[in-house]
Structure 1
């Protein structure tokens, strides 16, 4: 079953736009990685200042290979060059035990 990696990043509200821009400019790098299944960038719609970067992988080995890849390094170059947008970060890791999706809409 899949694994989910969540990067919980504390971002001051006044930096939300910068945070979103950095992800927009590196979009697509992760989607071609072997074992990649899904990506979501979540911004809080309440008073929190923790944004979530959620990825789902076929296996822990696929995620670790992504971390070692040239595309990962290139995608994180902005962080090295422009400094971090967030003030703290924590990686959460989960095994997917159960998953349910909405059925595809039937053709009209």
Structure 2
């Protein structure tokens, strides 16, 4: 199993979610986060004064998938979240050693 975390721009969420659902991803956790990467924030003007916001709003998507879906999920997120701009996001793939469904005690891929 793999645990996939994607950091994306908020306005791309619906597109990514719909594409993942169509591909058979059964569960997804979404968190509102903020951070920065290479672009180091952005300048904004508020009430005539310019200020630099070093933390940009993003969405963090987390999902556990079977090994055979990993490549498909990564490519779906990459294509759906791609805006051809700096700050489109990142995808991280980690090995997931176990999962347990609390209600039934099922383990591994059965718990997904």
TM-score norm. by structure 2 comes to: 0.50
The aligned residue for residue 39 of structure 1 is: 28
C-alpha spacing 1:8/1:77, structure 2 compared with 1 (3 Å)? closer
Residue correspondence of structure 1 range 4-83 to structure 2 within 5 A: 4-7=2-5, 9=7, 19-34=9-24, 36-44=25-33, 49=35, 52-57=60-65, 59-68=66-75, 71-78=76-83, 81-83=84-86
If you compute each CA radius of gyration, which structure gives the higher value, 1 or 2?
2
In the alignment, structure 1 residue 84 sits paired with structure 2 residue 84:
no
Q: Which has the higher strand share?
A: 2
Tell me the SS of whatever aligns to 2:17. Answer: coil
- Measure how far apart 1:22 and its partner are: 1.9
Mind listing any 5+ residue stretches in structure 1 that lack a counterpart? 10-17, 102-108
Provide the rounded CA distance (Å) in 1 between the counterparts of 2:91 and 2:72: 21
Mind listing any 5+ residue stretches in structure 2 that lack a counterpart? 36-57, 104-112
Provide the rounded CA distance (Å) in 2 between the counterparts of 1:51 and 1:27: 12
Provide the rounded CA distance (Å) in 1 between the counterparts of 2:99 and 2:91: 25
Provide the rounded CA distance (Å) in 2 between the counterparts of 1:7 and 1:19: 13
Q: Which has the higher helix share?
A: 1
